[in-house]
Amino acid sequence: MRFAVFSPDMAGGGAERAALQLAGGLAERGYKTDLVLASAVGPRMAEVPETVEVVDLGAKRVLTSLPALVGYLRRARPDAMVSILDHSNVAALWARRIAGYPKKLAVVEQNNLSTAAANAKSLQDRMMPRVINRFYPWADAVVGVSAGVLDDLRNHATAVPPDRFRVIYNPIVTADIAMKAEEPVDHPWFQGDDQVFVAAGRYRPQKDFPTLIRAFARVRATRPTRLVILGDGPDREELEALIEELGVGGDVDLYGYTDNPYAFFSKATAFVLSSRWEGLPTVLIEALSCGAPVVATDCPNGPEEILAGGRYGHLLPVGDVEALAEGLALALDGEIPRPPEESWTPYTLDAVVDDYLAAFAEIG
């Protein structure tokens, strides 16, 4: 059996990592597996295992990759394909209809569709719920990466037959995470006894780092602590201006992208997720698997489900500076315990590969 996993590129986000890990997991099981990319660029390209064949469609945008994707499907004739992210999903559905392959196609929704569309800047993204309802019925399986994502998706994709919906988590926890978590961190704040909070993600409105920085500034005004935010993005200048305005430039580091965030997570006083919305926040599960205490917003969707209603970490309201500051203070006081192994077991690579194989077997 030949599998294809389709993603826009290998950027540093959680969805791209999910595509990469799924392709690697299928290849480990002995299946011929292609990682099909609209454009083979991004920091995760270096992580693609040798067992996975990279197919570069050479397109600047996902939707313009359609002709090349059709050509690939006709040549390779994969038996099944998993497509990650909504724009890729639409392209995959059209390509499959034109090419006649693959025989089985699963499309994966990574985010809460309602919230993402409401906060979208482009008309194309605001129209995505209508687009999904029109084209997702062409898929054999429609996957939500959390129960909350799937519930929201059902409300929009009303034309999809109910038996095609499935919850399958992203494959997040892999053996290499534990090894990388043990590596040292080349950062002066992790060399002594400093209490350091760590956050990670694209610098954009969804992650709501301004609320985190304001909450941190409140806590820092009364006690010594530091904050490292891993990642990068279009809001960097805005965040730098806010840090300067609040006078915490000496204690907040917009670190940028790193290929080993796990070493930071394992040594953090707490990992902080300040998002306005998510689907299944990869970094939250990675942080749990690294043993980091967690402070997270109860945003739609994912954190409440992942943290079992607060059993595995501290949940607080979205956009609430005071509540987030209180959560940071609890972490500094050691009031948030490290998570147990059961908190991340459902997100292991083996478990997720089993779920996809079972889903394709059911399709027939």
Q: How far apart are CA 67 and CA 313, in angstroms?
A: 46
Alpha helices per DSSP H over the chain:
14-28, 66-76, 86-99, 113-118, 123-126, 128-135, 147-156, 175-181, 209-220, 236-246, 261-267, 282-289, 303-306, 321-332, 349-363
- 80 has which bridge partners? 3, 104
- Asked whether residue 325 carries a pLDDT value surpassing 80, the answer given is yes
Q: What is the pLDDT of residue 353?
A: 96
* 354 burial type by CB count under 10 A (0-12 exposed, 13-18 middle, 19+ buried): middle
Q: What is the pLDDT of residue 126?
A: 86
Q: Which residues contact 176 (CB under 8 A, 6 or more apart)?
A: none
- CA angle, 273 as apex, 270 and 277 as ends, to 5°? 165
pLDDT tens digits for range 239-252: 999 999 999 999 99
Q: Tens of pLDDT along 11-43?
A: 978 889 899 999 999 999 999 999 999 999 999
∠ CA 349-351-354 to the nearest 5 degrees? Answer: 105
Q: Do domains 2-171+348-363 and 175-346 have the same CATH topology?
A: yes
**Order of strands, sheet of 314-316, starting from the edge strand that comes earlier in the sequence:** 252-256, 226-230, 196-200, 270-273, 294-297, 314-316
pLDDT of 262 above 90:
yes
With contact defined as beta carbons under 8 Å apart, do 265 and 288 qualify?
Answer: no
Q: How many residues does the chain have?
A: 364
User: Where is 233: in which H helix or E strand?
Assistant: none
Q: Look at domain 2-171+348-363 and name its CATH class.
A: alpha beta
Q: Name the 3-class secondary structure at 342.
A: helix
User: What is the mean predicted confidence (pLDDT) over 199-207?
Assistant: 95
**What is the CATH architecture of 175-346?**
3-Layer(aba) Sandwich (3.40)
Q: Are strands 165-167 and 252-256 parallel, antiparallel or unpaired?
A: unpaired
Percent of the chain with pLDDT over 70: 100
Segment 197-211 shows an average pLDDT of: 96
The full set of domain ranges for the chain reads 2-171+348-363, 175-346
Q: Which region among 10-19, 43-52, 219-228, 312-321 has the lowest average model confidence (pLDDT)?
A: 10-19
pLDDT digits (tens, 9 = 90+) for 63-114: 999 999 999 999 999 999 999 998 999 999 999 999 999 999 999 998 887 8
pLDDT confidence of residue 326: 98
